[in-house]
Amino acid sequence: MSLAEQKAVVAHTADVFEPAVADGDIVTKAAKAVLKESSERGGGIQMMNVDKIYPGSPDKALDDFNLDIKPGEMVVLLGGSGCGKSTALRSLAGLEDIQAGRILVGGQDVTATPVNKREMAMVFQSYSLFPHMTALQNVEFGLEVRGVSKAERRRIAGEKLELVGLSDQANKYTQQMSGGQQQRVALARALAVHPRVLLLDEPLSALDAKVRVQLRDEIRRIQLETGTTTVFVTHDQEEALAVADRIGVMNHGRIEQIAAPKTLYQRPETEYVATFIGLTNRLPGVSNGDEAVVFGQRVPLIDGSRAGGNVTVLVRPESLTLSGQSHVGEPGRVEAVHFLGALARVDVAVALGERLRVTVQLPANELPAGLAVGSDVVVAPRPVAALAV
Ligand SMILES: Nc1ncnc2c1ncn2[C@@H]1O[C@H](COP(=O)(O)OP(=O)(O)OP(=O)(O)O)[C@@H](O)[C@H]1O
Ligand SMILES: [Mg+2]
């Protein structure tokens, strides 16, 4: 998206401006008011059977895409490059025309509503701030184009800068700010127009690791405080797990599974989801439908697992045990030991027909005494539900 296009989005995200709650015990009061309002306004989102085909492209960028978001919820769209995350967000914002399907916000059909009437605000990967303006002026911009009085917009902009922790930087030019600070300004600017829906397209990907973590936690705090219905796009699974109420894992233009982070991690419904989120071992097993025998031990199977016979069971590293000597499990030899502070990860080569390398994760204080590269060990699965494919 060009800078001009981004400016247009920033300028026209909402036609109806409703000032946020003023002083008092700011946080709680504002949060309550906004939450109440967001459910009154029914600020949820429904995207139903949406197809998006870019001109000249043989493939659908969105293919029967469905997404249902509750008011005040933070949904993260996660997936590899090119799976359609940005397209889903842009279609929701009205920046892309769609070829099939419907989009509802707060129960109202906005499929044919232009971008400037959808009352959404977007934050992009690149900060897209106006460099010749101060932080305060940047935040005021969206309010100015809506004709909010000078005193009022100064008050709101100040409040939003405080929310993102930049009160003391209000009069600094944005080109003199760090990447993290600039992205805070962009966030404050988006929130200033009091959007029904906040859209974040990889807002942290241009930042270094430490700032990313700080800012993602802050985005989540602010989102909870303001109760803004939010869609956050990332290809970083850790980021997704950390901030989301629910994560939608996208593949080939549709959501393959959408669930709370814990559910997605513990009960992935497809191989793509299981391998996209977290580490997983692919272990040979024999299934009877409800459970599989892996390394001589029984492992319960998740719904949607491949039915019977020889299967591959996707077992998380922490769902494996390691012992120096045991009569249950599969013998193997330690190939690497990685200490991760409280946890340790051990790579073990087991001799199962073909050589198979498995990764076991356990609390560091449960490592067998004297364990080192070359040690003989026995690996066995815990009775934790897993997906068979
Ligand atoms: N303007 C465009 N014209 C034609 N094809 C496009 C356009 N924008 C995106 N696409 C294609 O649509 C598909 C989805 O792209 P999209 O940008 O939504 O992916 P993404 O999941 O956001 O990827 P990334 O993680 O790399 O940002 C891709 O195959 C991409 O090449
Ligand atoms: Mg993208």
Best residue among 52, 54, 126 to mutate for probing ligand 1, ranked by most atoms within 8 Å of CB: 54
The pick from 86, 91, 272 for probing ligand 1's pocket by mutation, whose C-beta has the most ligand atoms within 8 angstroms, reads 86
How high is the pLDDT of residue 14?
32
SS3 53: coil
Lowest mean pLDDT among 36-50, 259-273, 360-374: 36-50
Nearest-angstrom CA–CA distance, 221 and 31: 11
Tell me what pLDDT residue 324 has: 87
Atom 25 in ligand 1: which residue has the minimum CA distance?
A: 81
> Ligand 1: which of 2, 52, 53, 57 to mutate, judged by most atoms within 8 Å of the beta carbon?
57
- Reported as a single tens digit per residue, the pLDDT across 25-69 is 444 454 455 445 544 444 799 999 999 999 999 999 999 999 999
Q: Which residues contact 288 (CB under 8 A, 6 or more apart)?
A: 308
| Domain annotation for the chain: domains and CATH numbers | 3-266 (3.40.50.300), 279-388 (2.40.50.100)
DSSP H helical ranges for 70-147 = 85-93, 135-144
Residue 389 DSSP one-character state: -
Report CA(86)–ligand 1 centroid distance (Å). 7
Is the shortest distance between the CB of 246 and ligand 1 below 6 Å? no
Report the pLDDT averaged over residues 136-144: 93
Q: Whose CA is nearest to atom 26 of ligand 1?
A: 81
86 Cα–ligand 2 center, Å: 4
19 has a pLDDT exceeding 50: no
**CA–centroid distance, residue 47 to ligand 1 (Å):** 18
- Distance separating alpha carbons of residues 261 and 312, to the nearest angstrom: 24
Higher pLDDT among residues 239 and 28, named by residue: 239
- Residue 97: its H or E element: none
Label residue 128 left, alpha or beta by phi (over 0 means left) and psi (-120 to 50 means alpha): left
